[in-house]
């Protein structure tokens, strides 16, 4: 498998997650779907420090999004987390951190 194919394989769950946004209007259910997708992805393939990357992404992006929103840079119609942003957004970003980490590892090989 080429590096591009490997990266595409890693990115697929993110594409699936984004595709679910208009299909699942309830933020809590979408968050559960994201957790299930991430959990399944981790069960299929888990690399060193995946959970650390996920945790850093979850916490880091929640804080970052809070600052973006508080300065008016971003606004959301769906604001189920702290009344500011969609509940599912930090979970999407958290898995994106894992994909970025894995993609960099693939490119480094």
Q: What is the pLDDT of residues 31-63, one digit of tens each?
A: 999 999 999 999 999 999 999 999 999 999 999
The answer for residues whose C-beta is within 8 angstroms of residue 108's C-beta and 6 or more apart is: none
Q: What is the pLDDT of residues 59-102, one digit of tens each?
A: 999 999 999 999 988 889 888 998 889 999 999 999 999 999 99
The answer for residues whose C-beta is within 8 angstroms of residue 85's C-beta and 6 or more apart is: 65, 66, 69, 74, 76, 78, 79
Which pLDDT band, with edges at 50, 70 and 90, does 29 fall under?
very high
Given this model, what pLDDT does residue 100 score? Answer: 96
Burial class (CB in 10 A: 0-12, 13-18, 19+), 31: buried
Given this model, what pLDDT does residue 79 score? Answer: 87
| Confidence (pTM) | 0.90
Calpha distance 17→37 (Å, rounded): 8
Give the mean model confidence (pLDDT) for residues 2-15: 94
């Amino acid at each position: 498998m080429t590096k591009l194919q490997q990266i595409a394989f890693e990115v697929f769950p993110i594409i699936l997650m984004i595709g679910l946004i208009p299909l699942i209007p309830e933020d809590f259910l979408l968050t559960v779907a994201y957790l299930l997708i991430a959990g399944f992805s981790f069960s299929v393939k888990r690399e060193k420090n995946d959970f650390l990357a996920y945790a850093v992404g979850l916490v880091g992006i929640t804080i970052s999004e809070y600052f973006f929103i508080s300065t008016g840079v971003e606004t959301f119609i769906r604001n189920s987390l702290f009344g500011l942003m969609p509940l599912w957004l930090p979970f999407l970003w958290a898995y994106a951190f894992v994909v970025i980490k894995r993609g960099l590892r693939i490119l480094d090989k």
